[in-house]
Chain A
């Protein structure tokens, strides 16, 4: 168990884990400090400069996301110069961010909206400085729209720190900085695996899914696509699967999904070509059948073979647990070691 330190934030004494950042300590105590580049899965970055605070005994306005707590630390998160500087920073971002919130994919889930609301900013005071940016529409699952991008670097850091691919990186310098791929090509021409982890962490509408339907409710399940067993929330609406997101508490994936789980599961589960009932091949081709007659038929046929004349290969869509049971069936019931699987997508 981590050591606990006591710190004071805006006059409230709170307990925090030693080694936590001031921002983590504040957020977990329910105290909001505006932030955009911070993400709990990522290393501290200090890019958006919105989480500036005053800390007794420290010079200037350190960022809460990069400062570690120490016992007895006294932190002030708002008021006076802090508010003025933070508003200027927000105005700089807003000056170059589109204002079509109502039609934006991230409306009401946008973290920039949250910061703006918190600071009570209702109008823009600075002129737009950026020209129209290129939109990368090459990926079939999500769009990279640089016009909405606030360059918090969550996506590029996700790709490097979590996914370990490094397909996207900040390119260029100064206000020409942009999220891009090697050689300034498109996402589809890059090393991108389309896992969408970047998109899942984008605080604004810059990386957004091409199919953007908000579900009526979500169901926690295991991803049906392969045997890894990723814990997944499938979103339902009108009796159909409309969305997928990783479950942070899932032991196998800790919130991550691959391209198949995030963008493929909803599609294949509801695909018209998918078999939803077993078929028996007869003189009239394949005919639908009920499970009992199918299992009777299979069991009868198995009996006509010696154990080593049989091999079992479960489908690639089988879960790890089902593969285990199939293995039991092969070894214990059929008495063969001819068992393999292809559930390693």
Chain B
């Protein structure tokens, strides 16, 4: 079947989904959905349909990004628009199907929104506070289409960008990408078009393109969600890039911990081969290109370009000094363009809708949109995509809905373990490459972890350092040994044995590590401690001088006590204590044995409901 015929059947398939003759049920089954219980929901859907004797089609779709209220189930009834339902359980979905499909009650209380105009008491999905200020370019199809279905992607304009590219000269394609202002979404923000140009200019052949899907920042899941929800958006971008550069082979380097994304990619690649969108003489254009998947073995530093290529070549994943850059001597010593998953998805969008359209979003130096995985102490966690230049405040409080339980915002960590913590007074900062860097953090691949008053800032810095200490490749001295020194020092501070000289030590050694490390991992490693010392020096001083952890997270610095006059002697704390540290007769005030207490805080939590008789107090000096 040629592409034109394929597009016609894609159109029919899309119509059949959205204007069906029998109910269509789409279940959000990206990894986040699965983790929230989508598998059980799916089984319940199938059981319920069988029990009710309803003929319906059940599909697995990707992630819409509203991860906080998963699993999501969308229902399209004949003659009705698509409605998304949130926080589904096997029981809820069973009664929903019965109510909606049999009794025609669309259950507005369970709905997240209706696709299109508000209707029957259900608000429009795009008016939802988490979605309304988003601009979804890379994520244009995420949660919308069935990711395994090439026809769905085609129906949404898929591979038109590739067709357009193939009708242009490679140089014109590069010029188009340059005009769009697209910069690398992996974090460093190198202009994509410029990278391709360098690669194209090189006379050495063969050339390679690599899709870097070795996402590893703590709390980051943009690439995983995108690949699971819309693999073709990425694949189309890779094809465009390969054509522009003149690459004959591509590699998707993806971490083995993403089995679903790998499965979806494999199935998508097989579909492309079947329809002459991959392989020899693609779409009759004379362009030959093949693509393979290489699985990473779970090494964070393999997200760094030179370590990544070393890993593909079967060597130990360690970065090397640049130059030479990958665009001159990358995979097998040949010109290679390594771009991030999201960058590739943006490329296909640019080719579909044009450079001007893409450049109309964002700021002068940071064009387009950026995805972020919003995590931590925020009401609406999930995967979002916003125009560059949106303020952190709009993202965290607008899209994310602010901090749960009316707690106070403390900081937001962006840029992964090499990024920094940005305090409340800097929340007005726009997300763009330059502004975040100026604040001591950086864009990174898009991890955004919100901290509230219950997060200790020293402990947070310590956590990110411990990640680096584990993930350093061990090649260069400052990163291998220096980060361990920093970690040990911060650990002392969180245990109450820090000294005033420790801060200077961290600042000095941190500066040395940044100046002398070989790759970005080491050069960024001290950032979490340096930015937190910069913005939250008082918290460090409290730990060191007063032995107080105001967030109560540093166990060595807190103790738990029962306030005698408040305790009702109900015994709930005693029963919840894992260390048998609480004793007392029923109806009389209980006491905590400090020697036995492991400071888990269970007592405080269970008592707060009834008497609020448990208090967290400073552990006292020394």
B and A form one assembly: yes
Mark A residues whose CB is within 8 Å of B: 44, 46-50, 52, 60-61, 63, 66, 81, 84-86, 88-89, 92-93, 95-96, 126-127, 129, 150-151, 153, 169-170, 172-177
A-B contact pairs, 28 of them (CB 8 A): A46-B321, A46-B476, A48-B477, A50-B477, A60-B515, A63-B321, A81-B515, A84-B508, A84-B512, A88-B508, A89-B478, A92-B478, A93-B477, A95-B485, A96-B481, A126-B485, A127-B488, A129-B484, A151-B474, A151-B477, A170-B316, A173-B474, A174-B469, A174-B470, A174-B473, A174-B480, A175-B472, A175-B484
Known contacts A85-B512, A89-B516: does B488 contact A173 (CB below 8 Å)?
A: no
Known contacts A63-B321, A89-B516, A126-B485: does B476 contact A47 (CB below 8 Å)?
A: yes
Q: Is there contact, CB below 8 Å, between B481 and A46?
A: no
Known contacts A47-B475, A92-B477, A129-B488: does B515 contact A61 (CB below 8 Å)?
A: yes
Known contacts A46-B320, A127-B488, A175-B472: does B477 contact A89 (CB below 8 Å)?
A: yes
Q: Is the interface of A mostly helix, strand, loop or mixed?
A: loop
Report the separation of the CA atoms of residues A46 and B515 in the bound assembly, to the nearest whole angstrom: 14
* Residues in B485-515 with C-beta less than 8 Å from chain A: 485, 488, 508-509, 511-512, 515
A-B CB proximity, top 4 nearest = A177-B474, A88-B512, A66-B321, A92-B481
Q: Is there contact, CB below 8 Å, between B472 and A174?
A: yes
Report the separation of the CA atoms of residues A50 and B468 in the bound assembly, to the nearest whole angstrom: 22
Give the residue among B473, B474, B478, B480 with the most A Cβ atoms within 10 A. B474
Closest to B322 in A: A66
Minimum CB–CB distance for B94 against chain A, Å: 48
Q: Is there contact, CB below 8 Å, between B482 and A88?
A: yes
Give the residue among A52, A84, A95, A175 with the most B Cβ atoms within 10 A. A175
Minimum CB–CB distance for A28 against chain B, Å: 21
Minimum CB–CB distance for A171 against chain B, Å: 9
Q: Is there contact, CB below 8 Å, between B508 and A173?
A: no
List B contacts of A81 (CB < 8 A).
515
Closest to A86 in B: B516
Report the separation of the CA atoms of residues A86 and B468 in the bound assembly, to the nearest whole angstrom: 22
Report the separation of the CA atoms of residues A81 and B515 in the bound assembly, to the nearest whole angstrom: 9
B27 at interface, CB cutoff 8 A: no
Mark B residues whose CB is within 8 Å of A: 299, 316, 318, 320-321, 468-478, 480-485, 488, 508-509, 511-512, 515-518
List B contacts of A50 (CB < 8 A).
477
The one of A60, A86, A151, A169 that contacts B316, using a Cβ cutoff of 8 Å = A169
Report the separation of the CA atoms of residues A44 and B322 in the bound assembly, to the nearest whole angstrom: 11
Report the separation of the CA atoms of residues A92 and B470 in the bound assembly, to the nearest whole angstrom: 17
Report the separation of the CA atoms of residues A237 and B478 in the bound assembly, to the nearest whole angstrom: 43
List A contacts of B483 (CB < 8 A).
174
Report the separation of the CA atoms of residues A104 and B472 in the bound assembly, to the nearest whole angstrom: 30
Minimum CB–CB distance for A15 against chain B, Å: 23
Minimum CB–CB distance for A175 against chain B, Å: 5
Report the separation of the CA atoms of residues A265 and B485 in the bound assembly, to the nearest whole angstrom: 46
Q: Is there contact, CB below 8 Å, between A174 and B484?
A: yes
The one of B318, B473, B477, B484 that contacts A49, using a Cβ cutoff of 8 Å = B477
Minimum CB–CB distance for A128 against chain B, Å: 10
Give the residue among B318, B475, B482, B485 with the most A Cβ atoms within 10 A. B475
Report the separation of the CA atoms of residues A173 and B522 in the bound assembly, to the nearest whole angstrom: 13
Minimum CB–CB distance for B468 against chain A, Å: 8
Having A88-B516, A173-B473, one finds 15 other A-B pairs with CB under 8 Å, namely: A44-B321, A46-B518, A49-B516, A81-B515, A84-B508, A84-B512, A89-B478, A89-B516, A93-B481, A95-B481, A126-B485, A127-B485, A127-B488, A174-B480, A175-B474
Report the separation of the CA atoms of residues A150 and B480 in the bound assembly, to the nearest whole angstrom: 11
Known contacts A126-B485, A174-B480, A177-B474: does B518 contact A47 (CB below 8 Å)?
A: yes
Q: Is there contact, CB below 8 Å, between A49 and B517?
A: yes
Report the separation of the CA atoms of residues A98 and B150 in the bound assembly, to the nearest whole angstrom: 62
The one of B474, B476, B482, B488 that contacts A172, using a Cβ cutoff of 8 Å = B474
List A contacts of B488 (CB < 8 A).
127, 129
